[in-house]
Amino acid sequence: MKKPRILIPSATHSDQGPCVFMKLSYIRALEEAGALLIITGRPHETADFDALIELADGLLLAGGVDVEPHLYGKKECPHCGEIDTERDLLELELLKRAERKGIPIFGICRGIQTMNVHTGGTLFRDLSDEHPSDIVHDRHNNPSRGTIAHDVEITPGTRLSAITGLEKTGVNSLHHQGIDRLGEGLRVSATAPDGLIEGIERPELPFWIGVQWHPEELTADAAWKKLFSAFVDAAKNAGVRGEAEAITNSEYSSPMLSTEADRQKDAHLTK
C-alpha cells in the first residue's frame, strides 16, 4: 500500500529573506507515523490549488507567525507580531478545498488559529493584552521547545480524548495569540486552566483536529505519537477511498460520451 501524502504549507519568508522552510520536528513526526510529505510555499496568487489537493491525502497546518487580524474582523495592535498574508490566503484556500475533497486536516499552534478563522471565529491578538492570566503561554525563551508549560483538560467524548486516552496532561506552549470566539460548528476538545481554548474539532468530519500546543516536539510521549498515527491513518484511508472512486469512475466512463461532451462544449464556446 502506498504511503499517504501529507500536504504542508510552509512559511514563505524569514529574517534571512524570502525562502521556504519547515522545522524538522514536523517532518520526523509525520515520517515516523508512515507519511510522505509535500511541502509547498507557493504564494497565494501562483499556487495550483487543484493540483496540490489532488496530490494530497491529508493537510497539516503548522506553526508560524501571526494570522492577519483583518481576516477575522480586527485591526492590528501594538503587540501584534509578524504576519504572512500570502501564507494566510494559501492556507485558507487549501482548507476549503481539503474539506471539499474530504481529506483529514490537522492544525498545530498557528494551524488551530487558522482553522478557527476559516470557520468564522476570531482570535485574541495578544494574550497578555486581551486574555491576561497567571499562565505564560509564550514560552519561546525556554531552552527547549518541548518544555512543559501548563496542563490542559481534554474534553471527554471528543476525538482527541478517544485517540490519546487522556483526561489531563502537560503541554508545551509557544504562542502569544489564541482563540477568542469559537468558529461555527466547532467543538472544544481541550482547555487551559485559564479557560483558553487549546483544542478544537469538527464532530461531523472523520479527522478535523486542531491543537494549540506543539505535539511534534513531544513525540517521546505515547499519546502524541498516537495523535500523529491517527492523522496519518485517516489520510491513508482517504487515499484508498480516493483510488477506489477513481477506479469506479474510470470503469463507467465512456470515450464516446466524453467526445460528445467536448463537442457540445466547443459548440457552446463558438456561438
CA–CA separation, 11 and 18 (whole Å): 9
Active site residue 77: no
DSSP secondary-structure letter at 153?
E
CA–CA separation, 64 and 79 (whole Å): 16
Catalytic residue, candidates 86, 91, 216, 217:
216
Catalytic residue, candidates 80, 109, 176, 201:
109
CA–CA separation, 91 and 8 (whole Å): 9
Active site residue 109: yes
Beta strands of the chain (E only): which ranges? 5-9, 11-14, 17-21, 36-40, 58-61, 105-108, 123-124, 150-154, 168-171, 178-179, 187-191, 197-201, 208-211
Closest listed residue to residue 41, CA positions, set 63, 13, 10: 10
CB 140 within 8 A of CB 147: no
**Strand, coil or helix: 157:** coil
CA–CA separation, 238 and 168 (whole Å): 30
- Show which residues are catalytic: 109, 214, 216
